[in-house]
Amino acid sequence: MARAVTTRRKIVTTVVAWAVGLLIFFPIYWTILTSFKTEAQAVANPPLFFGFDFTLENYAIVQERSDYMRYLWNSVIIAGGSTILGILIAVPAAWSMAFVPSKRTKDILLWMLSTKMLPAVGVLYPISLLFVQFDLLDTRGGLIVVLMLINLPIIVWMLYTYFREIPGEILEAARMDGAGLRAEILYVLTPMAIPGIASTILLNVILAWNEAFWTLNLTAVNAAPLTAFIASYSSPEGLFYAKLSAASTMAIAPILVMGWFSQKQLVRGLTFGAVK
């Protein structure tokens, strides 16, 4: 009897999981499918799932009209740069909050998170003026700093949670053996927290890759990443869905592939603690 329930439950869970998975994946699937249609078929009503003329025309047009590699390279540098910079700041910050907490640590953590509650457009003008002042408009350096700051609260929080699960005694033992602060973080803490750090890096790369407010508002030509590439295919007058879908597919492809390859780390890092 118990076995039957388990089997039934298994089936139900599997079906529900597949349904949820497919539901979440559907927009991506639809975008990819649309990118292979003609403009007229892309807006056909009822929507076409099968039986349309498969065409690579949209990819050819997008390829011809835009310099995809330049946008891709900017996205790689901006997402990678902001992640590296963020990790370099967040690891020591999370270390101090996890292992040397003060009376105000909890408040600082909450305060950091509260900066995420402000809509980005609220600080558009101050940030724009700072960028003009320091000649940072349309530079990758400026965007790296801004995106790092935006994502910093989240990565500090994530790392703090991982570090908290590492017993302080291990670090104490390292100190007893004569390890300095640098050696303690670099050789003892970091290796133990690798799964956590890896998933934090992945999440941060994804967030920075998809960021579409600052990357559109602070760039023009030189530093424009893939978000600007996608935005250039939306049109006020005329059909554009197929070309837009082709551009979107090209923009999400690298991050999608990266996500597939690092799925295991991502799930493990997000669901397990450091020493479990």
- Answer for which of 4, 135, 264, 276 binds another protein (CB under 8 A) is 135
Alpha-carbon gap, residue 194 to 186, rounded angstroms: 11
Give 12 or 88: the residue with its C-beta nearer to another protein.
Answer: 88
Binding window for another protein (CB under 8 A); candidates: 15-23, 151-159, 166-174, 220-228: 220-228
- Answer for which of 187, 253, 261, 267 binds another protein (CB under 8 A) is 187
Q: How far is the CB of 53 from another protein (least distance, A)?
A: 13
Instruction: Output DSSP code: residue 118.
Output: S
CA nearest to 155, candidates 100, 191, 186, 193:
193
> By CB under 8 A, what part of segment 224-243 binds another protein?
224, 228, 231-240
Give 138 or 165: the residue with its C-beta nearer to another protein.
Answer: 138
**Are the C-beta atoms of residues 252 and 75 closer than 8 Å to each other?**
no
- Answer for which of 87, 156, 171, 242 binds another protein (CB under 8 A) is 87
Instruction: Output DSSP code: residue 108.
Output: H
CA nearest to 33, candidates 19, 46, 51, 18:
51
- Answer for which of 17, 19, 194, 275 binds another protein (CB under 8 A) is 194
Residue 154 binding another protein, by CB under 8 A: no
Tokens of 171: 């670090």
Q: What is the 3-state secondary structure (H, E, C) of 190-225?
A: HHHCHHHHHHHHHHHHHHHHHCCCHHHHCCCCCCCC
Residue 174 binding another protein, by CB under 8 A: no
Residue 142 binding another protein, by CB under 8 A: yes
**Are the C-beta atoms of residues 157 and 112 closer than 8 Å to each other?**
yes
Alpha-carbon gap, residue 264 to 268, rounded angstroms: 6
Q: Letter for the amino acid at 151?
A: N
- Answer for which of 217, 256, 265, 273 binds another protein (CB under 8 A) is 217
Tokens of 215: 């990357």
Tokens of 56: 């690579």
Give 109 or 214: the residue with its C-beta nearer to another protein.
Answer: 214
Instruction: Output DSSP code: residue 96.
Output: H
Residue 269 binding another protein, by CB under 8 A: no
Give 1 or 238: the residue with its C-beta nearer to another protein.
Answer: 238
Q: Is the peptide bond before 46 cis (omega within 30 degrees of 0)?
A: yes
Binding marks (x or -) toward another protein, 53..82, rule CB under 8 A? ------------x-----------x--xx-
- Answer for which of 125, 178, 264, 276 binds another protein (CB under 8 A) is 125
Tokens of 71: 């946008």
In order of 22, 23, 41, the CA distances from 46 in angstroms are 21, 19, 10
- Answer for which of 56, 129, 173, 267 binds another protein (CB under 8 A) is 129
Residue 128 binding another protein, by CB under 8 A: yes
| Positions in the binding site for another protein (CB under 8 A) | 39-40, 43-45, 65, 77, 80-81, 84-85, 87-88, 124-125, 128-129, 131-132, 135, 137-142, 144, 186-187, 190-191, 194, 216-217, 220-224, 228, 231-240
